[in-house]
């Protein structure tokens, strides 16, 4: 952060002007933060209200008892949430593992080997970023149907692993900055290409792995369009589809629904607090996919 204020002329009218600008900047930031947090905080407050309290008090009145976890218990039990957390957790682990392996392996091959088709593969992935995936969901559904992947958790996990190119780009960028001398010396010592990749390079890509895992993990955890389309059966509800079904049993009991909403936010919040830097950095490198 550059220190501009110190070189500014320091007569008193300029100082007043600086003070006013500073105050306006803080005001704008506080207002934006208020708007960003208001919807979340209001949901948080209502999740502690009892049904009568919800009916009789204003939405912005704090709850009488901040330790009233009744809504949380109810939504946990009646909203089928333990199962949804397990399903989503399983899908996230599998998709993240597959994406990390596929992305790093393909990036290794593309970055370290010359072979006919290297450019073709790069171009195929680049062109794929120009085709909006959302436009193709109609025919993707047909393919999933033909493969027998409707209501299949395996099919859903494969679809989620196979439709994203960002992880490949993040690894490709990372491999470009890994010195090839590492590979050369290992091969001279008799290491195979597989050995070079698994024993030497893959452990060095740890930062890229964390970035891909966090971005992909949060993305899959929050995904609901495909989950809703391909996992119609109640036994494979993910967090998103379980949330979606709340409007059935809980109708307009927003105090209970908000408790469920906040429960689903906890994993994202924890990941964000622990991996803030990787999330920010990953977004930046992911956006260069162009």
Partner 1 sequence: MTTLAKPIQPDLRKKKINWQKVAVITLFAAVPMFLLILFTYVPFVKMIQFSFYNMSYTKNKGFVGLDNYLRIFTKSEYVDAMLLSLYYMAGAVVQLALALFFASILSLEKIRGAGVFKAAMFFPFLVNGIAIGYIFKFFFTRGFVLDSVLQAIGFPLDSLPYWLRDQSINNWSLVFTSVWKYCGQNMVLFIGAIASIDPTLYEAATIDGANRWQQFKAIILPGIKTVFMLNLILSITGSLSAFEPAYVVGSMGANGTATFFIKIHQMAHVTGKVGQACAMAMVLMALILIFTAGQRLFFRYVMKDSDNTFNAKSNKAKALW
> Rounded to the nearest whole angstrom, what is the least distance from the CB of residue 131 to partner 1 in the complex?
6
Which residue number, 67 or 290, has a Cβ lying nearer to partner 1? 290
| SS3 assignment, position 10 | coil
Q: What six digits make up the tokens of 219? A: 């993305």
What does the alpha-carbon distance between residue 259 and residue 272 come to, in Å, rounded to a whole number?
20
> Rounded to the nearest whole angstrom, what is the least distance from the CB of residue 36 to partner 1 in the complex?
5
Q: Which of residues 20-79 bind partner 1 (CB under 8 A)?
A: 22, 25-26, 28-29, 32-33, 35-40, 42-43, 46, 58-60
What does the alpha-carbon distance between residue 210 and residue 96 come to, in Å, rounded to a whole number?
10
Q: Which of residues 79-138 bind partner 1 (CB under 8 A)?
A: 102-103, 105-106, 108-115, 118-119, 121-126, 128, 130-138
Q: Is 244 in the site for partner 1 (CB under 8 A)?
A: yes
> Rounded to the nearest whole angstrom, what is the least distance from the CB of residue 94 to partner 1 in the complex?
14
Q: Is 266 in the site for partner 1 (CB under 8 A)?
A: no
Span from 65-73, 78-86, 169-177, 205-213 in contact with partner 1 (CB under 8 A) = 169-177
What does the alpha-carbon distance between residue 133 and residue 137 come to, in Å, rounded to a whole number?
7
Q: Which of 67, 194, 203, 248 binds partner 1 (CB under 8 A)?
A: 194
The H or E element spanning position 255 is helix 254-274
- Applying CB under 8 A, what is the total number of residues that bind partner 1? 111
> Rounded to the nearest whole angstrom, what is the least distance from the CB of residue 11 to partner 1 in the complex?
15
The number of C-alpha atoms within 13 Å of 232 and in the hemisphere containing its C-beta is 5
Q: What would you report as the CA-atom Rg of the chain, rounded to the nearest whole angstrom?
A: 25
Q: Is 181 exposed, middle or buried (0-12, 13-18, 19+ CB in 10 A)?
A: exposed
> Rounded to the nearest whole angstrom, what is the least distance from the CB of residue 273 to partner 1 in the complex?
8
Q: Is 204 in the site for partner 1 (CB under 8 A)?
A: no
Contact of 157 with 209, CB cutoff 8 Å: no
């Amino acid at each position: 952060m550059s220190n501009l204020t110190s070189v500014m002329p320091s007569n008193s009218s300029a100082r007043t002007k600086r003070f006013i600008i500073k105050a306006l900047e803080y005001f704008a930031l506080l207002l934006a933060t208020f708007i960003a947090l208001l919807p979340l905080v209001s949901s948080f407050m209502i999740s502690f209200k009892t049904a009568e309290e919800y009916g009789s008090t204003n939405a912005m009145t704090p709850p009488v008892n901040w330790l009233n976890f009744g809504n949380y218990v109810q939504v946990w039990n009646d909203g089928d949430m333990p199962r949804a957390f397990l399903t989503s957790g399983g899908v996230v682990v599998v998709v993240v593992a597959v994406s990390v392996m596929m992305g790093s392996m393909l990036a290794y091959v593309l970055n370290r080997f010359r072979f006919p088709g290297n450019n073709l593969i790069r171009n195929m992935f680049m062109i794929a970023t120009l085709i909006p995936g959302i436009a193709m969901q109609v025919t993707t559904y047909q393919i999933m149907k033909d493969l027998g992947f409707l209501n299949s958790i395996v099919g859903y996990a494969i679809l989620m692993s196979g439709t994203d190119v960002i992880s490949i780009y993040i690894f490709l960028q990372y491999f470009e900055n890994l010195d090839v001398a590492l590979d050369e010396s290992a091969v001279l010592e008799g290491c195979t290409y597989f050995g070079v990749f698994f024993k030497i390079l893959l452990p060095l890509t740890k930062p890229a792995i964390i970035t891909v895992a966090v971005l992909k993990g949060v993305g899959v955890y929050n995904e609901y369009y495909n989950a809703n389309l391909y996992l119609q059966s109640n036994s494979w509800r993910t967090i998103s589809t379980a949330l979606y079904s709340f409007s059935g049993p809980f109708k307009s009991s927003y105090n209970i629904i908000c408790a469920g909403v906040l429960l689903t936010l906890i994993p994202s919040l924890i990941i964000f607090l622990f991996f803030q830097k990787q999330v920010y950095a990953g977004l930046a490198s992911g956006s260069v996919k162009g």
